[in-house]
Structure 1
Amino acid sequence: METEIPAILRAREGVEPERFTFHSSRMRMQKVTKEELEAMDRDSDRCALELADARMDVLGYACLVAIMSMGRGYHRISEQRLHERTVAAGGPAPVVTSAGALIQGLNAIGAKKVSILTPYMKPLTQLVIDYIESEGIEVVDSISLEIPDNLEVARQDPLAPAEITKRLNTNVDAIVASACVQMPSLESIQIIEDRVGLPVLSGSVSTAYMMLKKLGLKTYAPGFGSLLSGKY
């Protein structure tokens, strides 16, 4: 998220007038396990307070599976709670979760059936599948890379999803090239979309889309797939 969201916004600055600054506060997590994800989520309140002190215009919660592992529909609870933290701190800001943004991005393009790629162990991927399906979107196919170390997830080649997703079922409405904001995929988005002729999303692309929506700005950034084409 800390590399891909700024890259999307920098590309947008080349064609649109708005300019952005990027600020972050970190929750700790080393191994991608349900226990560490729950501890990480508890720490999100502190992060919201810290960022509220800097008077942000929008906050992005950048761990999709941390939200989805907390139970169905939890992105709504998290977004409301963290927004309330910013209000209490005197720096009210809307909050976008990558989990909620992925669902909202898929809804925006009208996707009812999807195939997804994740870096997670299979039980966590199943949690993600269950969460997406609880929102009325069928996950037809999935690939789990089964990488337990969070740093190793970040070291993946951003072009790897372009190749790996060739194994996914494409008889769907959209492909999620990375259902994880830690696994790089930005350089693959347009490549996959051009190959399969379907909308291709990721956690980062969806989060950027929802951030622009919350800011009331044109949802356009060139080269990152249909969701950021400005059409939605």
Structure 2
Amino acid sequence: MSRAYSTRRIGLIVPSSNVTMETEIPALLKAREAILPDRFTFHSSRMRMKAVVKEELEAMDADSLRCATELSDAAVDVQTYACLVAIMSMGLGYHRTSSEKLHRATVDNGCPTPVLNSAGALVDSLKEMGFKNVSIICPYMKPLTKLVVDYIEHEGVEVQDFLALEIADNLEVASQNPAAPAELWRKLDVRGVDAIVASACVQMPSLPAIEMIERASGLPTVSAAVATTRKILQSLELTEVAPGGGALLSGGQLARLPKVA
């Protein structure tokens, strides 16, 4: 369905207890509006989930088809499913299966829409940027964090070190200080890594910390939310630039990062 104006509708498939995806992704795209002409609106459909445990994640994922169908009713331009660990806990490579399944639901509903997810966005962005070795921060319990590490490594990116904050309650994850990763990264072994993942979770806030970590470490720093924003822009065939998004949304200016001795 064509529209006679340039505003892009972004559909967000959101865990019911997630409050960060609808702040960080819009914040990045609204910051982009200050420097580029494209405009964005945001439209959500929610899946029930309160605790970040495998049983609730599996039940929530089963509800994602309903969300994709609902959002296609609104003729959004792109949809993104934001629960990285839900996708990764469903089995290796599941981000591809999920995208295909949800896209098919939009086709069946008469409004074909590309459907992304934060899990695929993170691993694809790491690979596209040539990052072969990373260290990551996760809010999850250690067993789920290990699933995330294994999933990323299965996609061809080595995880040198990880920090698991071991928070099961999803609202508690959201209540973490958004600037905290600017200090938490110092607990990681980052010797020789290509990049730091400041938050491998779209519910754990980290946006204010992204460029702080880059300045302190001299390393490209990414998050699941920043990677998802990048993939949204790619899907819309728009320039992958947004202020505050660090290396992934810098327009390829990696060489400008300070080098740490």
The alignment's TM-score, normalised by the length of structure 2, stands at: 0.88
* Structure 2: segments with no counterpart, 5+ residues: 1-20, 254-261
1:231 Cα deviation after fit: 2.2
After superposition, give the CA deviation of every residue in 1:172-229 in whole Å (9 maximum; x if it has no partner). 0011000000000000000001111111110100000000000000000012111001
SS at match of 1:133: helix
Q: Where does residue 205 of structure 1 map in the other structure?
A: 226
1:137 Cα deviation after fit: 0.6
SS at match of 2:45: coil
* Structure 1: segments with no counterpart, 5+ residues: none
- The one-letter amino acid of 1:143's match is L
What is the CA–CA distance in structure 2 between the aligned matches of 1:168 and 1:109, rounded to whole Å? 21
- The one-letter amino acid of 1:62's match is A
Aligned residues: 232
* 1:97 lines up with 2:117 in the alignment: yes
Q: Where does residue 10 of structure 1 map in the other structure?
A: 30
What is the CA–CA distance in structure 2 between the aligned matches of 1:87 and 1:68, rounded to whole Å? 25
Alignment partner for residue 25 of structure 1, among 16, 23, 45? 45
Q: Where does residue 227 of structure 1 map in the other structure?
A: 248
Q: Which has the larger radius of gyration?
A: 2
What is the CA–CA distance in structure 1 between the aligned matches of 2:203 and 2:111, rounded to whole Å? 27
SS at match of 1:143: strand
Q: Where does residue 171 of structure 2 map in the other structure?
A: 151
- The one-letter amino acid of 1:142's match is F
CA contact (8 A) 2:78 2:235 kept: yes
- The one-letter amino acid of 1:223's match is G
After superposition, give the CA deviation of every residue in 1:100-136 in whole Å (9 maximum; x if it has no partner). 0000110121011000000000000000000000001
After superposition, give the CA deviation of every residue in 1:53-76 in whole Å (9 maximum; x if it has no partner). 000100010000000000000000
Alignment partner for residue 106 of structure 2, among 86, 95, 103? 86
Alignment partner for residue 62 of structure 1, among 61, 82, 98? 82
What is the CA–CA distance in structure 2 between the aligned matches of 1:12 and 1:228, rounded to whole Å? 10
User: Where in structure 1 do 4 or more consecutive aligned residues deviate above 2 Å?
Assistant: none
* 1:115 lines up with 2:135 in the alignment: yes
- Return the structure number with greater strand share: 2
After superposition, give the CA deviation of every residue in 1:6-31 in whole Å (9 maximum; x if it has no partner). 00000000001100000000111011
What is the CA–CA distance in structure 1 between the aligned matches of 2:213 and 2:155, rounded to whole Å? 25
SS at match of 1:26: strand
Instruction: Summarize the alignment of residues 30-45 of structure 1 with structure 2, pairs less than 5 Å apart.
Output: 30-45=50-65
What is the CA–CA distance in structure 1 between the aligned matches of 2:203 and 2:75, rounded to whole Å? 25
Q: Where does residue 12 of structure 2 map in the other structure?
A: none
- Provide the alpha-carbon RMSD of the alignment: 0.8
Percent identical among aligned pairs is 63
SS at match of 1:4: helix
SS at match of 1:22: strand
CA contact (8 A) 2:207 2:244 kept: no
Q: Where does residue 186 of structure 1 map in the other structure?
A: 207
